[in-house]
Structure 1
Amino acid sequence: MGETLRAHPEKARAKYAPATAALESGLKCRVTGPSGEQIETDMPAALGGAGAGPNPGWFFRASLAACCSTVIAAQAARLGINLTKLEVTVEGEGDHRGMLGVEDAISAGHSTMRTNVRISAQDATSEQLEELVQWAAAHSPVGCTVRDAPSNGLSVVVV
């Protein structure tokens, strides 16, 4: 596949499936995809929600953790490394004053994030596993999106 994409880079371009969030009640949203995928989000009571589900920030961190895990596992398989343990935890910190509009100079986004990887394999050295994780961090689509901050346009339709 890699050779084909090197020879025909236009075949590597992709348009990703959209996610559409619809407000259900209070601050609870149902997010759906074109193939029937769905999740529900809510905010904790302290931030005005009912706490009926994980908040969007948690799903953001979960997405980063899952993507990193997936890329590590896929690359390990390509390299013939049989993983015996893989656990990726993404932590984040922020300041709610930005999201709540209390202080406009403070970002509503995460101020810091940290990805922690616990990994083991019977057929790879510590150095090989470290290199595998570093490679995956550099090739994780969600991780790269966070680091590279692509443009994010906004369209508003009043109905």
Structure 2
Amino acid sequence: MAKMKTISIAAKLDEKFKIEVNAGDHVMYIDQTKAGGGNDAGATPLEYFFASLAGCVGTVARIVANQKGITLNGMDIKVEGAFDIETLLGKSKESRAGFNGIKVTLNIDSGMSKEDKEAFVQEVESRCPVSDNIANTTPIVIEVV
């Protein structure tokens, strides 16, 4: 039987594009660049989205390594993707608003062979909730109160 854990955050849109996010004992700020009309008080939502994916991959990699007794000295994680800015700005409806694809590049510092690293990454990806939510349709309900 599944053992479910609920996660929640609270966020507040303030001046311009600045959003204060409370997540547990942590406060984060999301904003737009000055060129984009914000105050550059924090990373953009899309940068946080990629950071969330990188953070989840890194965390699950550490969990898997610890569970399997794999020496994982560290890992460099790069996440990138392209989206249609015209759709975001409401100037076009030709493309979807999201990324056309997301590429995660991992440089794993470990004594594992390339084949072992690939198997390791496959397990990490299969256990990463953020990756799973990106790859599979998850219903989103936006409710106005």
Q: How far has the Cα of 1:139 moved from its partner? A: 1.4
Q: Is 1:32 paired with 2:22?
A: yes
Q: Unaligned 5+ residue runs, structure 2?
A: none
**Residues in 2 aligned to 1:112 and 1:13: alpha-carbon distance in whole angstroms:** 29
Q: Is 1:94 paired with 2:86?
A: no
Q: How does 1:3-18 map to 2 (within 5 A)?
A: 9-10=1-2, 12-16=3-7, 18=8
Q: How does 1:99-110 map to 2 (within 5 A)?
A: 99-110=88-99
Please name the residue that 1:78 is paired with. 67
TM-score normalised over the length of structure 1: 0.84
Q: Deviations over 1:97-118 (max 9, x none)?
A: 1111111232222222100011
Q: How far has the Cα of 1:74 moved from its partner? A: 0.9
**Residues in 1 aligned to 2:36 and 2:101: alpha-carbon distance in whole angstroms:** 20
Aligned length: 145
Please name the residue that 1:4 is paired with. none
Please name the residue that 1:22 is paired with. 12
Q: Unaligned 5+ residue runs, structure 1?
A: 1-8
Whether the 8 Å contact between 1:120 and 1:129 is mirrored in structure 2 is no
Provide the identity percentage.
28
Please name the residue that 2:38 is paired with. 49
TM-score normalised over the length of structure 2: 0.92
Whether the 8 Å contact between 1:23 and 1:30 is mirrored in structure 2 is yes
Please name the residue that 1:5 is paired with. none
Q: How far has the Cα of 1:89 moved from its partner? A: 1.2
Q: How does 1:104-123 map to 2 (within 5 A)?
A: 104-122=93-111
Partner secondary structure for residue 94 of structure 1 = coil
Q: Is 1:140 paired with 2:125?
A: no
**Residues in 2 aligned to 1:137 and 1:37: alpha-carbon distance in whole angstroms:** 26
Q: Deviations over 1:18-39 (max 9, x none)?
A: 1222112111110113x33210
Q: Could you tell me which amino acid in structure 1 is paired with residue 108 of structure 2?
A: I
Q: Is 1:127 paired with 2:118?
A: no
Aligned Cα root-mean-square deviation (Å): 1.4
